[in-house]
């Protein structure tokens, strides 16, 4: 099953709902392309909703880190929301939670942009 992404905008925040495994190959490339597209469009506030991601491997984690870097270079921020336990564990083991926190809801993640000066 390929990785599916549904993008919707809520004000200045782009929320990307991901569905499927984020693994080496097409899925991790798809994730990278989505974030790159949003950055290219000037979107500086992006939330990735991971609720539909049952598994993520090292390539997927690398795509998340690359997405964070792409948005940061463009003056933006990438935040994560609703990671299932298995994905949350992978983020914590690789210490990516130091790069970006994982919010319990996409609403909380989107609201956190208001606190950014």
Flag whether pLDDT at 116 surpasses 80.
no
Flag whether pLDDT at 1 surpasses 80.
no
pTM (2 d.p.): 0.95
- Rounded-to-integer distance, Cα 96 and Cα 26, Å: 22
- Rounded-to-integer distance, Cα 53 and Cα 16, Å: 12
pLDDT in tens, 41-81: 999 999 999 999 999 999 999 999 999 999 999 999 999 99
Average pLDDT over residues 89-113: 94
- Domains of the chain from N-terminus onward: 4-112 (3.30.750.24)
Flag whether pLDDT at 100 surpasses 90.
no
8 A C-beta contact, residue 83 and residue 50:
yes
pLDDT in tens, 5-46: 999 999 999 999 999 999 999 999 999 999 999 999 999 999
DSSP 8-state secondary structure symbol assigned to residue 10: E
Residues 6+ apart with CB under 8 A from 111: none
């Amino acid at each position: 099953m390929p990785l599916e992404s549904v993008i919707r905008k809520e004000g200045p925040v782009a929320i990307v709902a991901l569905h499927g495994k984020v693994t080496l190959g097409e899925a991790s490339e798809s994730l990278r392309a989505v974030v790159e597209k949003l950055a290219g469009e000037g979107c500086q506030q992006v939330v990735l909703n991971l609720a539909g991601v049952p598994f993520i491997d090292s390539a997927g984690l690398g795509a998340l880190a690359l997405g964070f870097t792409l948005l940061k270079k463009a003056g933006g921020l990438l935040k994560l929301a609703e990671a299932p336990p298995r994905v949350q564990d992978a983020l914590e083991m690789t210490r990516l939670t130091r790069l970006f926190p994982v919010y319990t809801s996409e609403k909380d993640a989107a609201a956190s942009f208001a606190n950014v000066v």
